[in-house]
Amino acid sequence: MKVMRDPVHGHVELDELAVSLMDTPRMQRLRRIRQLGLSNLVYPGANHTRFEHSLGAHHLATTLAGEIDSVQQSEIDELRVAAMLHDIGHGPLSHVTEGIIKKYTRREHEDVKHLLRKGDIAEVCSDAGLNISSIADHILGKTSLGQIINSEIDVDRMDYLIRDAHYTGVAYGLVDHSRLIHKMQFYEDKLVVTEGGLNAAESLLVSRFLMHPSVYFHHVTRISETMITRGIEYLIEQEKLNPSSLQEMDDYSLFETMRRDDGYAGEMINRIDERKLYKRALYVGFDDVDEKVLGHRKAIQRVEKEIAEEAGINEEEILIDIPKLPRIEEMKALIKVNGKKMTLDKASHLVATLEKAHRDNWKLGVYTPREHREKVKKIATDFFEVKKQTRQYKLTDI
């Protein structure tokens, strides 16, 4: 039994199996992948990694599984392995490369069976007599037990909300995870929150709601992550980067690969290194535009080109960010009330409103170098038919 210190959960115990997994090169790589992509440009403390998050998820999964009677030890071990390994499919900067990996390799980051079958991990699992297919299915949330690590309310979310709040210093990530874990049970093969856990479940959803505009969708993060994403795509298109290698890289090799480029990718990473970021030319909420702007999501580069041409600037100097409308999957988490299962939004007026409330935080952003800002603002405002008298955040309102 090895004890690790975790600033979030205190002392975290790891048995021999967990230590063997942790010591594999694939897990060690996560020590060099930031959990929150480029959020550290906004929150200087946000340098935490997928590695410690994986230990945290493993710790919470172990705790939660320990409160369930109905499963066997080997099943629990498979679940615990899955919790430890659930993020090994991430590329550099976590979610930042997630879309690119998916676009070019058709793989979600949770789809890791091919990684489990190789090298040290396969060996550790085989020595422990564990089934790799089951582990892969747990990670995908396709099994009953797997709901503990991948479902509407799971230990993955609990850990990252608390951890992200801890390292950003934001006050909002306060989930009552101890109570929540204590109040979760399996019922008719589904992981449910029992009645005394309703408030704790609400706290998780509200925490995520408040973290969204402050952290996950902070405009500086969106700008810099859009910038670096475009740089990476440029490298791939120039055949200077093989997209299938991303799952082997870490933040260090990504930055250096980009730095060695003397074209657009090099410019982007240089701007990020020196924090000379594009600025907001347009930044408006959902009430300020017509819903049809969502239609542009499929053809963003065409729109960028169109606006760039009108502004007489290079199309690479316009970045447009049109997020999806939020879906709050957690609303459909199950709660058991009076012996009956229902979804959380049926049991809580607060939860029922969250999807709508999240729209308050949706923002359409158009970003460009500082010097083109005024010009682009005017053109983009027309293009997206932004309503007059609209609320626009000032840059000083960060």
Residues 340-359 binding a copy of itself (CB under 8 A) are: 347-350, 352-354, 356-357, 359
| 117's tokens | 């079958």
Which positions ≥6 away from 282 have C-beta within 8 Å? 364, 365, 366, 376, 377, 380, 381, 384, 386
| Residue closer to a copy of itself, measured from CB, 28 or 245 | 28
Q: Give, to the nearest 10 degrees, the angle between helix 349-359 and helix 198-211.
A: 10
Residues 36-95 that bind a copy of itself (CB under 8 A): 40-41, 43-45, 47-49, 51-52, 55
β-sheet bridge partners, residue 2: 14
**Lookup result for tokens 């676009």:** 103
| Residue closer to a copy of itself, measured from CB, 204 or 380 | 204
Q: Is 119 in the site for a copy of itself (CB under 8 A)?
A: no
Residues 198-237 that bind a copy of itself (CB under 8 A): 199, 202-203, 206, 209-210, 213-214
Q: Is 327 in the site for a copy of itself (CB under 8 A)?
A: no
**CA 336 to mean position of chain CA atoms:** 28
- Using a 10 angstrom Cβ sphere, with 0-12 exposed, 13-18 middle and 19 or more buried, the burial of residue 327 is exposed
| Residue closer to a copy of itself, measured from CB, 233 or 251 | 251
| Residue closer to a copy of itself, measured from CB, 133 or 178 | 178
- Least CB distance to a copy of itself at residue 265 (A): 15
| Residue closer to a copy of itself, measured from CB, 74 or 178 | 178
DSSP states along 332-345 = G-EEEETTEEEEHH
CA distances from 60 to 84, 155, 283, 313 (A): 10, 6, 38, 51
Q: Give, to the nearest 10 degrees, the angle between helix 73-85 and helix 132-139.
A: 60
Which of 255, 305, 323, 378 forms a contact with a copy of itself (CB under 8 A)? 255
- Least CB distance to a copy of itself at residue 27 (A): 9
Which of 68, 174, 294, 313 forms a contact with a copy of itself (CB under 8 A)? 174
Which of 99, 238, 252, 263 forms a contact with a copy of itself (CB under 8 A)? 252
Residues 261-280 that bind a copy of itself (CB under 8 A): 273-275
**Alpha-carbon gap, residue 171 to 110, rounded angstroms:** 29
Q: Is 159 in the site for a copy of itself (CB under 8 A)?
A: no
Q: Contact at 8 Å (CB) between 171 and 212?
A: no
- Least CB distance to a copy of itself at residue 63 (A): 11
- Least CB distance to a copy of itself at residue 300 (A): 27
**CA 169 to mean position of chain CA atoms:** 18
β-sheet bridge partners, residue 232: none
- Least CB distance to a copy of itself at residue 70 (A): 18
Binding mask 125-144 for a copy of itself (x = CB under 8 A): --------------------
Region near a copy of itself per CB under 8 A, out of 121-129, 178-186, 238-246, 289-297: 178-186
| 325's tokens | 């409308």
